[in-house]
């Protein structure tokens, strides 16, 4: 994705987010958009295909999303502007904006071994108290860390992994 595409993503997401009045509404609508995007994923190629007429695509979307008129028109706007390829990124950004309204922070936690449920809640609590916001984390494993945790929270990187410590030890020794 290039710079202008990233800017477009932020603008479409901001517009979609602005349609909701309250934080709860925004969260609900973000969830709806996520569901719709997942449902449309199998026909993504068709919706991006240039040989199919725009009108046909729009009619298909209208028929499929009859019960969600606002989402249907949002998708149609994207199709018209030839920005449908950006939908996954837009969904993510909409989610971020909804989180922001609710005071939720997303974190990505990497660990060498899978964490137990207990450890996961403990991590989330620790992060929440550090940032003063509700932190919702997604957990992934990364064998190269060897041990400990590596956490991306917003634009901050907390590196408590064994691998990171070894790298820092190496830097210290070669200084």
Which positions lie near another protein, rule CB under 8 A?
A: 3, 6-7, 10, 152, 155-160, 164-165, 167-169, 171-173
Residue 159 beta carbon to another protein: minimum distance, rounded to whole angstroms:
4
Residue 173 beta carbon to another protein: minimum distance, rounded to whole angstroms:
6
Residue 19 beta carbon to another protein: minimum distance, rounded to whole angstroms:
23
Residue 168 beta carbon to another protein: minimum distance, rounded to whole angstroms:
6
* Nearest CB to another protein, comparing residues 41 and 157: 157
* Nearest CB to another protein, comparing residues 7 and 28: 7
Q: CA-to-CA distance for 110 and 149, rounded, in angstroms?
A: 6
Residues contacting residue 116 through CB under 8 Å, at least 6 positions apart: none
* Nearest CB to another protein, comparing residues 75 and 137: 137
Geometric angle at alpha carbon 45, from 89 and 58, rounded to 5°: 85
* Nearest CB to another protein, comparing residues 7 and 39: 7
Q: Of 76, 71, 78, which is closest to residue 11 (Cα–Cα)?
A: 78
- Residue 131 structure tokens: 């940032």
Helices (H) and strands (E) in the chain, counts: 8, 4
The pairing of beta strand 104-111 with beta strand 134-141: parallel
Geometric angle at alpha carbon 136, from 162 and 118, rounded to 5°: 65
Residue 24 beta carbon to another protein: minimum distance, rounded to whole angstroms:
27
* Nearest CB to another protein, comparing residues 60 and 100: 100
Q: Is 138 helix (H, G, I), strand (E, B) or coil?
A: strand
């Amino acid at each position: 994705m290039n710079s202008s595409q990233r800017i477009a993503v932020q603008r479409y997401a901001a517009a979609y987010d602005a349609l909701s009045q309250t934080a709860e509404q925004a969260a609900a609508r973000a969830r709806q958009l996520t569901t719709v995007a997942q449902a449309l994923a199998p026909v993504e190629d068709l919706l991006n295909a240039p040989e199919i007429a725009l009108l046909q695509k729009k009619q298909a979307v209208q028929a499929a999303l009859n019960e969600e008129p606002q989402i249907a028109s949002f998708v149609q706007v994207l199709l018209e502007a030839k920005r449908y390829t950006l939908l996954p990124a837009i969904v993510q950004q909409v989610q971020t904006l909804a989180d922001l309204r609710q005071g939720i922070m997303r974190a990505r936690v990497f660990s060498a071994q899978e964490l137990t449920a207990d450890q996961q809640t403990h991590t989330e609590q620790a992060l929440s108290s550090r940032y003063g916001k509700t932190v919702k984390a997604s957990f992934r494993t990364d064998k190269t860390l060897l041990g400990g945790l590596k956490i991306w929270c917003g634009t901050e990187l907390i590196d408590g992994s064994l691998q990171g410590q070894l790298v820092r030890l190496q830097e210290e020794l070669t200084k």
